[in-house]
Chains A and B, each alone.
Chain A
Amino acid sequence: MKTGRITKWALGLALAGAVALTAGMAQAQLKIAFVYVTHVGDAGWTYQHHLGRMAMEKALGNKIKVTTVGPVKEGADAERVIRKLAASGNKLIFTTSFGFMNPTLKVAKRYKKVTFVHVSGYKRSKNVSTVFARLYEGRYLTGMVAGMMTKSNVLGYIGAFPIPEVIRGINAFTLGARAVNPKVQVRVIWVSSWFNPGKERQASETLIAQGADVITHHTDSTAAVQAAQARKKFAIGYHSDMSKYGKTAHLTAATHIWGSYYTKVAKAVLAGGWKAGDTWGGLKDGMVALAPFGPSVPAKVQAMVKKRQAEIRAGTFHPFQGPVKDQSGKVVVPAGKTMADGPMLGMKYYVEGVVGKLPKK
């Protein structure tokens, strides 16, 4: 009887010790969570976040422990998921879709000790930071490639929704193309969806049928690149290097790179010194990059684009540097000036060279 009681005590002590030990270990290790809006797949928006997460894990090793949840629908479901992640001890949470903005802020109010980073939104608080990429820099460079590679002088662009982010990309692409080839026209088709391979394919074919010989897209699938490959035209990928979907068609791609930013935030949180704020990083911050050039791109073109890329990095060139004219010919940025971030974030017009009117909604 007596020995029994002693073993019980001993067991209890050992257990308590074990619990304390694991708790101690968990504290040393920073628990990080990611909320994805779609499956990872092997190209596209979420895939780039996945690559960023992997880069961060590689850099920080066992100092961090990462959980990912996805796909999570934007809306009420997202709040539940984020809350659960915060409640289960994650001290740094990345929410990687625009629609997670309000849920993130709501949960962040309850969990003041947790650091939140919301990608692509504009609402911040004491423990919610926002981050986005200056993808228009990449768009400008890919526009240059397209402008030099086109023979028909018609470029095709598939857009998801006419919001400033997408319009800014179209305009930067057009400016880049016309900087090297003033005869270029950009035709735009809106497919009203971030992801609909069937429609993206049809839109690509419609653009090709109208003479476009270089196509790019601001949607999430690889359909445009595949369409260009099938029709022996050129394509420029988006989000990810999509060269595997268009061996000869893929010229390059404007891609998101999140790894260095994620690592920076995680390091700061580990050291206890992260301050919430906004980050809008571009080529110079390593958050935007061009995918390797395809075999069809001549060395001369590559050299020109690389030179411009270096200038953007150095800050001596800005894609929206004057003179920039809108479609009606009105000067929106006078010569010698560059556009400030505010007007860029609210861009609601096409620049000269884009065909057609911007849909109101």
Chain B
Amino acid sequence: MSEAEIINLIVLTFKSAVPLIFAALGELVVEKSGVLNLGVEGMMLIGAVAGFIGAVTTGSIFVGMLMAMAAAVLVSLIFAVLTLSLLANQVATGLALTIFGIGLSAFIGKPFLGNTIEGLQPWAIPLLSDIPILGPLLFNHDPMLYLAVAAFFGVSWFLYRSRGGLILRSIGESHEAAHALGYPVIRIRYLAVMFGAAMGGLGGAYLSLVLTPQWQEDMTAQRGWIALALVVFATWRPSRVMIGAWLFGALTIVNFYAQSQGVSFSSHLLATLPYFATIIVLVLISWDAAKIRLHAPAALGKPFHASD
């Protein structure tokens, strides 16, 4: 394997991790606030189609990204109203959101099937991108990839270094206690769901604006579910979300690389690996019950009403 080949494969791995990073970091914040939104796949698809429509009609990828976020937030509000205001079951509503997102995105995307766009080009960071090896590896990517890394720092800082993050986490641990302290539980959960949706939308948009770039029905191909698994795999830690996303991304690329080199293993088995790894992690952390309790939000999935 030549040096250029290795760099190429690592860059491909980074790229395939981006949708997972966006969606999983978003879902992480949602779950940290105590809400389980299983609609990630649906929101990603809505983001993918809205982003693509935005980019095609205005010619600007950045408008596309904004539309992706806005559209995903809009559909997530259905989920938020149902589960947070009307206390519907979060699991059922989240699943419904996914099914709704698949159908709706196919419907509104129909006239845009087969359209092509330029796609987001890499931004080489001046000077830094000229460093041998490290330059092409780290400093010659598309803006959305940089944004995903920035989102990681932003989310980590917010959750563990800011007052807002502390409040959000406390709501996720015990909404009664947070409510007793006077924090607006429902309002903060609304904001968390909207943030998660915007991130999921961006994750989907990365597929339709950068990775492919085109709109196709159901093009996320279960990445939303992998993102959900990733949050559990990461035991609700942003840094482990990043490692997990790269690991899952690398699995695909290594699989493809090995195949084209003539090494073959069962591709069905490989497709199950992310889920399998998540189960292994769950088993591992379940040995030490204290460890899960430390990171999993205690109020995850539980509805809250101020009268409780």
Whole-angstrom CA separation of A40 from B217 in the bound complex: 11
The answer to whether A359 and B267 have CB atoms under 8 Å apart is yes
Interface string of B87-120 (1 = CB under 8 A from A): 0000000000000000000100010011010010
From residue 207 to 231 of chain B, which have CB atoms closer than 8 A to chain A?
207, 211-214, 216-221, 223
Minimum CB distance partner of A196 in chain B: B221
| Pair B213/A226 contact, Cβ less than 8 Å | yes
| Residues A195 and B212 in contact, CB atoms below 8 Å apart | no
Bound CA span A203–B9, Å: 11
* Inter-chain contact A356/B262, CB cutoff 8 Å: yes
How far apart are the CA atoms of A187 and B260 in the complex, in Å?
A: 5
Indicate if B259 sits at the interface (CB-CB under 8 A).
yes
Contact B259 A201 (CB under 8 A): no
Verify if A193 is at the interface (C-beta below 8 Å from B).
yes
**Closest 5 interchain pairs by CB?**
A356-B262, A42-B114, A209-B8, A192-B267, A187-B260
Report whether A244 and B114 are in contact in the complex, using a CB–CB cutoff of 8 Å. yes
Q: Which chain B residues lie closer than 8 Å to A42 at the CB level?
A: 113-114
Asked if A192 and B221 make an inter-chain contact with CB atoms under 8 angstroms apart, the answer reads no
Beyond the given A190-B259, A205-B12, could you list 9 further A-B residue pairs with CB under 8 A, ordered by the A residue number? A41-B216, A42-B114, A43-B114, A197-B216, A198-B219, A202-B252, A210-B260, A245-B116, A361-B266
B257 within 8 A of A: yes
A33-62 contact mask (Cβ, 8 Å, vs B): 1 or 0? 000001101110000000000000000000
* Assembly CA distance A39 to B257 (angstroms): 31
**Residue B271 CB within 8 A of the other chain:** yes
Quick one: which of B194-247 are within 8 Å of A by CB? 207, 211-214, 216-221, 223
Q: How far is the CB of B114 from chain A (nearest CB, A)?
A: 4
* B138 at interface by CB-CB < 8 Å: no
Residue in B8, B110, B116, B252 whose beta carbon sits within 8 Å of that of A226 in the complex: B116
CB within 8 Å of B: which A176-200 residues: 187-193, 195-199
Q: Which residues of B contact A188 (CB under 8 A)?
A: 259-260
Are B116 and A230 in contact, CB atoms less than 8 angstroms apart?
no
- Which residues of the other chain, A, contact B181 by a CB distance below 8 angstroms? none
* CB of B153 closer than 8 Å to a CB of A: no
Q: How far is the CB of A69 from chain B (nearest CB, A)?
A: 15
CA gap between A315 and B266 in the complex, in Å: 39
Assess the A199–B252 pair: CB atoms within 8 A. yes
Residues of A within 8 A of B113 (CB): 39, 41-42
Task: Decide if A356 touches B217 in the complex (CB within 8 Å).
Answer: no
Q: How many residues on the B side are at the interface (Cβ–Cβ under 8 A)? A: 41
From B19, B110, B214, give the contact of A223 (CB < 8 A): B214
Q: 1/0 per residue A320-361: CB within 8 Å of B?
A: 000000000000000000000000000000000001111111
Instruction: Contact check, B216 vs A195: say whether CB atoms are below 8 A apart.
Output: yes
21 contacts between A and B (CB under 8 A): A42-B113, A188-B259, A188-B260, A189-B256, A189-B259, A191-B267, A192-B268, A192-B270, A199-B252, A202-B16, A205-B12, A206-B9, A206-B12, A206-B260, A207-B260, A209-B12, A221-B214, A226-B213, A356-B259, A357-B263, A359-B266
Q: Footprint of B on A, CB under 8 Å?
A: 38-39, 41-43, 156, 187-193, 195-199, 201-203, 205-207, 209-210, 212, 221-223, 226, 230, 244-245, 355-361
Q: Does B307 contact A (CB under 8 A)?
A: no
B265 and A197 contact, CB distance less than 8 A: no
CB-CB under 8 A for A197 and B212, given A355-B262, A356-B264: yes
State the CA gap A39–B253 with chains docked (Å).
29
- What is the bound-complex CA distance between A198 and B15, given in angstroms? 11
B5 at the interface (CB under 8 A from A): yes
Q: Which of A192, A202, A223, A356 has the most CB of B within 10 A?
A: A202
Within 8 Å of chain A (Cβ to Cβ): is B57?
no
Q: Which residues of A contact B12 (CB under 8 A)?
A: 202, 205-206, 209
Report the minimal beta-carbon distance from B14 to chain A, rounded to whole angstroms.
12
For A38, A190, A193, the residue with the greatest tally of chain B CB atoms inside 10 Å of its CB is A190
Q: B208 — nearest CB in chain A belongs to which residue?
A: A197
Contact B256 A360 (CB under 8 A): no
